[in-house]
Amino acid sequence: MSHPTEPQGFVGWLLSPERRGALLVAPAIFVLFVMNIFPLMWSFGLSFFNYRANRLTVPSFRGLYYYERVLTDPVVWERFQTTAIIVGSSVLLQLIVGFLLALLFERAFPGRRILLMLVLTPMMLSFVAVGVFFKLFYEPTFGLLSQFVSVFTGEPYAILATPTSALIGIVVADAWMWSPFVMLLVLAGLVSVPKYLYEAAEIDRASWWRRFRTITFPYIKSLLLLAVLFRTIETFKLFDIVYLITEGGPGSSTETIAVYVYRLAFQFFRTSQASALAYILLFVVIVLTNLYLYGVQRRSQEL
């Protein structure tokens, strides 16, 4: 029963009400496909071919050759180690600082709201801003850190000059940016503890430590797990801050696996190897993400 003024044929079929929803999301899906999904699949394909982005030779199929090369490359394992050190110490530092901040902000005190806003700011900044900020902060001649240290030693201090201190510099910058995130999660857990439980525990004469262990901790346990997993996934992909502050230096001491992929792809133009390594990283992240989602599910079942 079609109305005479309704468009006929293909256009009419396309505009019919049951296809309206699909029609509306189509542009978004199209853009997503062209900009994300297609390049993703294409680079996956490239990881099986001998291809260099700066040469015009026709790519030839090499199967799993580049995966094998990447996995047997000692440099890759070195970069993995560097990444693991940064992830481990940064996440630990974020946990400690975030936790202490949450304990501080749990109770009401004058100026709490304003202070809370200030503490949350680092998390809202862009990576570039944080990177540039810390680069200036660590700068040996004018940098605040160097100036501060020289008050005591009389000499300028270049934190980025030695491998260990440069690693510390990176970890501090990353932890500075992301501790507020951990704090937010822990704070959400802390405020979800009913106050009467603490009162009951006081009546039962429990010590501070017992109260924490038996009442507080069970409420924040699952949120802490989420914080660790989420921060591990994010820090594992750490690129921006490292590239801006040290560019992986001195030497290759702060070069994370993500920075190495970048170098392989855009400085050495070993495109196939870079793709293969990127897919290995993606696999690791997917495994971690599934752990994270499992944690989220467990938490929602508990509540």
Partner 1 sequence: MTALEVEGIVKRFGDVTALDGLSFEAGAGEFFCLLGPSAAGKTTALRAIAGLERLDAGRVRFGGRDVTDDPVQGRGFAMIFQTFALYPHLTAFENLAYPLREEKRPADEVARRVDEIAEMLRISHALGRKPNTLSGGEQQRVAIGRALIRRPGLLLLDEPLTNLDAKLRHDTRAEFKRLHRELGMTMVYATPDQLEALTMAERLAVLRDGRIVQTGTPEELYATPGDSFVATMVGAPPMNLIPGEISRNGSGPVLSLPFAELDAGRWRGAATATEPVLFGIRPHDIAPVNGERRGPGFSATVHLTEPLGDVTVIDLQASDSLVKMVLPEHEALAYRVGDKVDVEISMEDTHLFFRETGVLIPSVERPDQ
> Which residues of the chain form contacts with partner 1 (CB under 8 A)?
194, 196-197, 199-207, 210, 214-215, 218-219
Output the smallest distance, CB 207 to partner 1, in A. Answer: 6
Which residue is associated with the tokens 């300028």? 156
* Cα 201 from Cα 197, distance rounded (Å): 6
* Residue 18 vs 204, nearer CB to partner 1: 204
Output the smallest distance, CB 203 to partner 1, in A. Answer: 5
- Please give the full DSSP string across 6-55, using - where no structure is assigned: SPPHHHHHHHSGGGHHHHHHHHHHHHHIIIIIHHHHHHHHHTTEE--TT-
Output the smallest distance, CB 212 to partner 1, in A. Answer: 12
Q: Is 94 exposed, middle or buried (0-12, 13-18, 19+ CB in 10 A)?
A: buried
* Cα 105 from Cα 96, distance rounded (Å): 14
Task: Compute how many other C-beta atoms are within 10 angstroms of the C-beta atom of residue 174.
Answer: 28
* Residue 132 vs 197, nearer CB to partner 1: 197
* Residue 206 vs 296, nearer CB to partner 1: 206
Question: 125: left (phi > 0), else alpha (psi -120 to 50), else beta?
Answer: beta
* Residue 25 vs 200, nearer CB to partner 1: 200
Output the smallest distance, CB 188 to partner 1, in A. Answer: 17
* Residue 119 vs 215, nearer CB to partner 1: 215
Locate the DSSP E strands across the chain.
49-50, 60-61
* Cα 235 from Cα 223, distance rounded (Å): 18
Output the smallest distance, CB 162 to partner 1, in A. Answer: 47
CA–CA distances in Å: residue 93 to residues 66, 96, 171, 222, 284: 36, 5, 8, 19, 23
259's tokens: 């920075």
Output the smallest distance, CB 225 to partner 1, in A. Answer: 15
* Residue 104 vs 197, nearer CB to partner 1: 197
Q: Which amino acid belongs to residue 268?
A: F
Output the smallest distance, CB 100 to partner 1, in A. Answer: 23
* Residue 56 vs 303, nearer CB to partner 1: 303
